[in-house]
Amino acid sequence: MDNSIIAHRGWSSRGPENTLYAIELALKEKKIDKIEIDVQMTKDGIIVLHHDFELGRTSNGKGLISEYSYEELLKLDFGGWFSADFTGERILTLKEVLDLIGNTKDLIIEIKKGGSMYPHIATELCHVLKPYSLKNIYVKSFNHEVVKEVADINHKIKTGILIYGKPVLLKEQMKYAKASFVSIAYPYITKELLDHLYQDKIEVMVWTVDNKKHMEDIKKLDKGIGIITNYPELGFK
Ligand code: G3P
Ligand code: CA
């Protein structure tokens, strides 16, 4: 077994995050095993790719993405902020990404928020996923309530929890969320923690490993872990 290399927000050091360019680039590279994306919902209920709640950093729009319809978002540019060469990159829907990826690579979908901001996101996500093979799809969130909602709607979807900071009572948190995998920040990955999780065959992903030394340390520590990185090339053999 070898570590899997996971392109964070697509190959986001080489193109604007969560755009077609960054995702296609990651898709073409055989040494990248999985692609991670962030999803939120438009005012009219379409699941789209975007990391921040606000539009300002990664587009020429402003304000909350949740206050725009999909048609309105289509008029915005999501590439020019990265470099003028990418001007014209547009908002992507989750459905477009699922159609593009098919089952050629694993896709990790991070739901950025549920609760009062996106009360229907779990239901809509499960609806969008329905026609697709679930074999290569992972769904995760820092919001464990929304993870649980997804698992309750469709227990066949692989669901996982994201953890900020030092993991505490991890298996209990997973049980609550009905999760089968876990994503932990780089500084908190230890051999003891991995042994503890592997006892129950829990899949582990580490984020975000953008430093060559950290990449090597993780690879030395464990061969089965998924490494989420903006610089997948650091992990290539
Ligand atoms: O998947 C891990 C990582 O993406 C979580 O943090 O803020 O980059 O979505 P963030
Ligand atoms: Ca993410």
User: Cα separation of 235 and 205, whole Å?
Assistant: 14
Return the pLDDT at 119.
97
What residues contact 97, with CB distance under 8 A and at least 6 apart?
Answer: 23, 37, 49, 107
* Per-residue pLDDT tens digits for 48-99: 999 999 999 999 999 999 999 999 999 999 999 999 999 999 999 999 999 9
User: Cα separation of 209 and 202, whole Å?
Assistant: 20
User: Cα separation of 33 and 3, whole Å?
Assistant: 9
User: Cα separation of 91 and 209, whole Å?
Assistant: 26
Q: DSSP 3-state assignment of 161?
A: strand
What's the pLDDT band for 41 if we cut at 50, 70, 90? very high
Return the pLDDT at 1.
78
Nearest to 230 by CA among 85, 86, 40, 26: 26
Ligand 1, atom nearest to 207 Cα: 2
Ligand 1, atom nearest to 8 Cα: 4
183 C-beta closer than 6 A to ligand 1: yes
Percent of the chain past pLDDT 70, that is, above it, reads: 100
Q: Could you give all domains of the chain from N- to C-terminal order, each with its CATH number?
A: 4-235 (3.20.20.190)
Q: Are 157 and 151 in contact (CB under 8 A)?
A: yes
The best mutation among 4, 18, 35, 36 to test binding of ligand 1, ranked by most ligand atoms within 8 Å of the C-beta, falls on: 36
231 C-beta closer than 6 A to ligand 1: no
Compute, in angstroms, the gap from residue 207 CA to the centroid of ligand 1. Answer: 7
42-53 average pLDDT score: 98
117-125 average pLDDT score: 98
Return the pLDDT at 59.
98
Q: Is 81 exposed, middle or buried (0-12, 13-18, 19+ CB in 10 A)?
A: middle
The best mutation among 208, 210, 231 to test binding of ligand 1, ranked by most ligand atoms within 8 Å of the C-beta, falls on: 208
Give the number of residues written for the chain: 237
* Per-residue pLDDT tens digits for 169-214: 999 999 999 999 999 999 999 999 999 999 999 999 999 999 999 9
Evaluate if residue 3 carries a pLDDT over 90: yes
Return the pLDDT at 97.
98
Average pLDDT of the chain, as a whole number: 97
